[in-house]
Amino acid sequence: KRLITNRSYYLHLNDSRSPNGNGIMIINSIELRQWADGALETIDVSSLANDSITSSFGADSLYWPADTRKSMALSSATYLKSALKVARSLANQICHAKNNEDGSSNGECSRLLQLPAPGSDWAGRITVHLSSNPIDVYDGDLQPLPFSHDNPRSDPRELQDILNSLIPDESLFAIEDNVLDGASSCDSEQNGVSFHNVARAEILPFPNNDLNSSIVDEMPFIYSLGIVFYELFSGGEKHPAIHPQINSCRRARNESNRFKGDAGEPMSQNGHAHEPNPHGNGCAFDMAGKLSILDKIGDIGDLFDKMEDEDPCDDFDMKFRNKKKGPQTRSTMMRSVSVEPLKLKGLPMRLCDLISNMIDCVNGDLSGDEAYRNMSDVCSDLQLMLDRPGRFLHDLDLDNLSLTGLQLNEALFDRGMDFSTLQNSYRRSISGANECAIIVGPSGIGKSVLANRLGTYIRSSGGLFLSGKFDQLPSAKPFSALASAFNDYCNKMSKEGRLSHLQIVASKLRIALGGEALHLVKVIPNLSIILGDLASGPDKDQDCVDAQKRLQYLLCQFVGVISSCSGAPVTLFLDDLQWADPASISAINQILLMSESSYGKRQFFFLGSSREEGMIDHAVGDMVSSICHFGVHVNIVKLVCMDEEMTNTMVSDLLCLSPRLTRTLSEIIFHKTKGNPLFFSRLMVSLCKDSLVRLSLSRRRWEWDEEKIQSRKLPDDVAAFLTSSIERLPQEVQMALSTLSCFGHATNTTLVKALEGECGSKLIEPLEIAVAEGFLDKVNGTYSFGHDRLQEAAYNMIPPEDRCVLHFKYGDALVPRSLELQDDGLLFTAASQINRGGPAALEDAEQAVVFANLNLTVGRKAMEMSDFSAAYSFFDNGISFLRKNHWREHYDLSLQLFESASNCAVVLGDITSLKLLSDQICTFAKSLEDKLNAMYNTVSALAYGSQLPESVDKCIIALSQLGEKLPDSYSEADTKVYIAQTQDMLKGFTTDQELIEHKEMDEPNKIMAMKFYARLEISFHMTKVEAQPIVTMKIVQLSITQGMSPVSPLGFTFFGMLLARLGDIREGCRYVRIGRKLLDGMGSKEVAGEGIAIGTQIM
């Protein structure tokens, strides 16, 4: 552990901190005052000079005044860091001794460290150990051991001989001959060891120090160490008021021993005789420090001769070494001193305060509130200064802070364990694990902050972090959060991506999306920039009943391509899942369940956030259960409010003050906020604005009025507090925030300017004030509330009875602008605002038809984007705007709204709504043709809902109304007759290609009849197999006589299956192939699944 010598040793390290990998480090030791002189001499003050210095004294630092050079060196970052390492090590040594003694029952620990008496000259008993490499050696690596002072200058070879006799492994103590031949370690850089490579500092044991047999009262030791720190950070200067007895005695002794020390030893460089130093000037340490055999050697001092006697003429020191001289009071041993000389040298104010608070503790009950009470606080504060000098050491930028006030940084709310959980989940996911994570917690707890912190980490490591946010007041634009995330990705890729990489991704997207790309482009407009002309093709199959699943498939393909071909892991973060629409939840569910991409290894990670209630009574909980069932591991990271200790850490970090100084303030803050991070941050800003927390120019730090803060009345709820904060803003700013809150969490400037122009009220200027006050953020031309609760608070300031009128007013004002700009996003927003106002807000009955038509238009656009939930909402709102007698006065508009709504109800599986809508259509429709679509939707919905008998009955009724009769009974003989008739009709086609290219059906009623037949065939396939062949023959025969329809492929496929079942395998395969080719050419996606499934059985 410690080898006692006065020379330099090469040490063999046994751990990974060996800097060169060869396990060797040089350790030198030097007395504290010599170290300070040497460290200051090595500082290049010329690099620290400013214009004022060079203009006054010139560019050459050699000609600067000595005091100027020294002050600049003392305040340099290099010296401060090195000196703080020394200070921390000394404080830790005392803490270690105190902790060991507190845990000892036999008093043995008091021999671990015999400190000098309080009030004596500690600086002369301190040694600084330097390493050959700039690495930190922690106090746990070098623990002090008992040893004797009898022979501190013993030959190191003698020690090695003894150790080698006990420990055979000579490699542990390899001594280099050229070092033993004797070089002093007092040079500025001895053996390559820099004065600033501080490994450790320690207070040398004080011989026969019975006064300090135990550490009971820490105050004297804190005071004495404070005096050492004063000398350390002043560059070796002592305050005139400190120990005049020591100063006078030593001056006399030094004068009489100018050329020799007390024992005939050479004088040190500073003119003092060498104090007995068991380490000499070059001490070696085994950095591994795990030689348990030394613990059995006993007192190492027995290995050496008796030490030289201490100088008896130091009367002041002898007072503290002999209890018989009588007890000494603090007033005679220790005095308070001012740290003003340190401030004049330009040292940081907080370092001066630390030293002052250490010295001030000597005054006992008269000490100031900030005086230290225990050494552990000193250790903690020194560690903070070393770890984070920008916040806890250097002076604050008062000029900037006086203008900006408190600056809350998201990094303040550190959640280390939660962040590590997300990091590990991310790493596993992009490495191939089927895993995702969801952050859960109450409002204001910091879910978004934690997610964005992970985003910063992902971006810094080369990954892509895509983010979207669901809104409590949604814009009603389909898939808004998903679309926003992917749209931003496409835009960024088109602008910043390499052309070659962009072409690769575009090529693979074209292959994956095929002819369906247009449907995805409607949701992600910027995708057209990547795909180019391919995205502008005609839209096929407008009547796709399963369009929502199609879009989910396309989204999965899109994510699969970008996550495997983008060259970086892709993370998708969706905030506020508790407000997600069902269509988005379903799409997310499919994305998480998708298998590995066929384009390579998928590197994809999903991260979500949700309030706790969203995991209980919302589709988010169902989604989590679903994906877990299919083997996706979901990490639920649950956040809780800060406890009192964490709150104090936040206050300390925010005010750049030691936690011990902010504890009383943080207790008040915690009591008022209950540890809610949002409440905490807004309250701290509010206290700063009210000057209850303010900057002190004289002390260059923050200060506060605890009594006024304690007495301040605050709402118990964060929402009420935020409302009260908004109410303190100017009236026009309040109005602007309330207006903005009607549009949700975020609003772009295009909408704000359009609203400002149409409504004739100022918005931009007041909103800029709100940005300056911290209520809004403005990024890339978009205003967004700093938190959802701020948006809620601003919205709640609008009286409930006025909200409908305002929503309607804003929507009505935006409609002309959206049509002029042909901006679908703005049109969706306008329609949503009008619908929130509702028919009750109408001032003119004639407007009802206008807004019903608007909802029809917007709903159809939503259907094109395959968001049938949003589309149904628009159609339903359009119906609500219709007045009495609308079937008579506005028949076409009514029919279109009810038909479109019924189409959406089928996709959504809403059987109840579908029946109501269909009944209305069948009751008021003027013709059979107007009823057919509603009737077909009812039949389909019943089939999807597994109500097959009822579906079959309604299907047969519809076919009879279309003139299509089915037999009352079905026999095998009837089936053979129908097959023979069909085969005779097919003989009219000489080749298969002629049949495939047969004309298309154009009569509407026959097309609808074919759709009913197809639905009936699928139902019969599961319920009434004996009747199915008749339906198959009907489809094939109508296709021959009337032309091919989108469901004809299903009929030919079933016809092939029937022939194969009857034994004609060759003909069966032939008609299945015809069915597949027809499906590829014109087939409906509605029957594609059944056609492929049946055809595969035959092929």
pLDDT score of 771 more than 50? yes
**Residues 6+ positions from 719 with CB-CB distance below 8 Å:** 789, 792, 793, 796
Confidence at residue 435, expressed as pLDDT on a 0 to 100 scale: 87
Q: Residue 107 and residue 102: Cα distance in Å, rounded? A: 10
pLDDT score of 1059 more than 50? yes
pLDDT score of 1015 more than 90? no
Band (pLDDT 50/70/90 cuts) for residue 245 is very low
pLDDT score of 306 more than 50? no
pLDDT in tens, 227-239: 999 999 988 887 6
Element (H, E) at 435: strand 435-440
Give how far the C-alpha of residue 563 lies from the chain's centroid of Cα atoms, to the nearest Å: 20
Distances (CA, A) of 379 to 92, 104, 211, 651: 6, 22, 24, 19
Pairing relationship of beta strands 9-12 and 2-3 according to DSSP bridges: unpaired
Highest mean pLDDT among 100-104, 256-260, 385-389: 385-389
Handedness of CA 343, 349, 352, 358 (dihedral sign): positive
Please indicate whether residue 1047 or residue 969 has the higher confidence score (pLDDT): 1047
Confidence at residue 753, expressed as pLDDT on a 0 to 100 scale: 87
Q: Which contacts of 780-783 are long-range, i.e. CB under 8 A and separated by 24 or more positions?
A: 781/748, 781/749, 781/750, 782/746, 782/747, 782/748, 782/749, 783/740, 783/746, 783/747, 783/748, 783/749, 783/752
Pairing relationship of beta strands 126-131 and 198-203 according to DSSP bridges: antiparallel
Question: And the tokens for 614?
Answer: 């969203």
pLDDT score of 521 more than 60? yes
pLDDT score of 180 more than 50? no
pLDDT in tens, 882-909: 988 899 999 999 999 999 999 888 888 7
Section 927-934 average pLDDT: 90
| DSSP summary character for residue 47 | G
Least confident of 19-28, 34-43, 809-818: 19-28
Q: 3-class secondary structure for 950-995?
A: HHHHHHHHHHHHCCCCCCCCCCHHHHHHHHHHHHHHHCCCCCHHHH
CB 352 within 8 A of CB 342: yes
Band (pLDDT 50/70/90 cuts) for residue 396 is confident
* Residue located via tokens 């002898």: 318
Q: Residue 891 and residue 91: Cα distance in Å, rounded? A: 90
**Residues 6+ positions from 623 with CB-CB distance below 8 Å:** 585, 588, 589
The per-type count for the chain, helices as H runs and strands as E runs, is 49, 18
**Residues 6+ positions from 219 with CB-CB distance below 8 Å:** 330, 361, 362, 364, 373
Band (pLDDT 50/70/90 cuts) for residue 412 is low
**What percent of the chain is helix, strand and coil (3-state, nearest 5)?**
60, 10, 30
CB 815 within 8 A of CB 855: no
Confidence at residue 43, expressed as pLDDT on a 0 to 100 scale: 87
Say which amino acid occupies 783.
Y
Q: 3-class secondary structure for 851-909?
A: HHHHHHHHHHHHHHCCCHHHHHHHHHHHHHHCCCCHHHHCHHHHHHHHHHHHHHHHHHC
pLDDT score of 86 more than 90? yes
pLDDT score of 202 more than 60? yes
pLDDT in tens, 536-561: 444 444 444 567 777 888 888 888 88
Band (pLDDT 50/70/90 cuts) for residue 409 is low
CA atoms within a 13 Å half-sphere pointing along the CA-CB vector of 946: 0
Section 188-211 average pLDDT: 68
Q: Residue 36 and residue 187: Cα distance in Å, rounded? A: 12
Handedness of CA 529, 533, 538, 539 (dihedral sign): negative
Q: Which three-class secondary structure state does DSSP give residue 17?
A: coil
Which phi and psi angles does 694 have, rounded to 5°?
-145, 165
Section 270-288 average pLDDT: 37
Neighbours of 374 (CB within 10 A): 15
* Residue located via tokens 């002189």: 37
Neighbours of 999 (CB within 10 A): 9
* Residue located via tokens 């120090």: 209
Confidence at residue 1096, expressed as pLDDT on a 0 to 100 scale: 67
Confidence at residue 301, expressed as pLDDT on a 0 to 100 scale: 38
Q: 3-class secondary structure for 521-587?
A: HHHCCCHHHHHHHHHHCCCCCCCCCCHHHHHHHHHHHHHHHHHHHCCCCEEEEEECHHHCCHHHHHH
Least confident of 38-52, 366-380, 585-599, 1050-1064: 585-599
> Exposed (0-12), middle (13-18) or buried (19+): which is 532, by Cβ within 10 Å?
exposed
State percent of the chain over pLDDT 70. 74
Confidence at residue 294, expressed as pLDDT on a 0 to 100 scale: 33
pLDDT score of 574 more than 90? yes
Q: Residue 13 and residue 173: Cα distance in Å, rounded? A: 10
Handedness of CA 294, 296, 299, 305 (dihedral sign): negative
Beta-bridge partner residues of 635: 437
CB 785 within 8 A of CB 791: yes
Sheet bearing 24-31, strands edge to edge: 9-12, 24-31, 126-131, 198-203
Please indicate whether residue 272 or residue 876 has the higher confidence score (pLDDT): 876
pLDDT score of 366 more than 70? no
pLDDT score of 814 more than 80? yes
Section 620-636 average pLDDT: 87
Maximum distance among all alpha carbons in the chain? 138
Question: And the tokens for 186?
Answer: 């007092």
Distances (CA, A) of 301 to 28, 136, 151: 21, 29, 7
Q: 3-class secondary structure for 919-947?
A: HHHHHHCCCHHHHHHHHHHHHHHHHHCCC
pLDDT score of 99 more than 80? no
Q: What one-character-per-residue DSSP string does 753-792 give?
A: HHHHHHH----HHHHHHHHHTTSEEEETTEEEESSHHHHH
Mean pLDDT over each residue of the chain, to the nearest integer? 77
CA atoms within a 13 Å half-sphere pointing along the CA-CB vector of 452: 11
pLDDT in tens, 629-668: 888 889 999 998 889 999 999 999 999 999 999 999 999 9
Band (pLDDT 50/70/90 cuts) for residue 410 is low
Band (pLDDT 50/70/90 cuts) for residue 193 is low
928-944 and 911-924 helices cross at what angle (nearest 10)?
160
pLDDT score of 295 more than 60? no
Q: Residue 237 and residue 251: Cα distance in Å, rounded? A: 15
Band (pLDDT 50/70/90 cuts) for residue 623 is confident
Neighbours of 426 (CB within 10 A): 23
Q: Which contacts of 67-70 are long-range, i.e. CB under 8 A and separated by 24 or more positions?
A: 69/45, 70/40, 70/235, 70/345
- The region that residue 1083 occupies, defined by phi over 0 for left and psi between -120 and 50 for alpha, beta otherwise, is beta
State percent of the chain over pLDDT 90. 22
pLDDT score of 82 more than 50? yes
948-961 and 1004-1023 helices cross at what angle (nearest 10)?
150
CB 985 within 8 A of CB 1037: yes
CB 785 within 8 A of CB 745: yes
Neighbours of 612 (CB within 10 A): 14
Please indicate whether residue 597 or residue 447 has the higher confidence score (pLDDT): 447
* Residue located via tokens 């590590």: 420
Band (pLDDT 50/70/90 cuts) for residue 939 is confident
CA atoms within a 13 Å half-sphere pointing along the CA-CB vector of 894: 21
Handedness of CA 76, 82, 86, 89 (dihedral sign): positive
pLDDT in tens, 717-763: 777 888 888 888 999 999 999 999 999 888 888 888 888 887 778 89
Please indicate whether residue 876 or residue 515 has the higher confidence score (pLDDT): 876
Highest mean pLDDT among 185-194, 314-323, 468-477, 686-695: 686-695
Element (H, E) at 668: helix 659-673
Confidence at residue 400, expressed as pLDDT on a 0 to 100 scale: 84
Question: And the tokens for 403?
Answer: 């203008």
Confidence at residue 563, expressed as pLDDT on a 0 to 100 scale: 82
Element (H, E) at 638: strand 633-638
Distances (CA, A) of 797 to 430, 724, 768: 45, 10, 20
**Residues 6+ positions from 681 with CB-CB distance below 8 Å:** 408
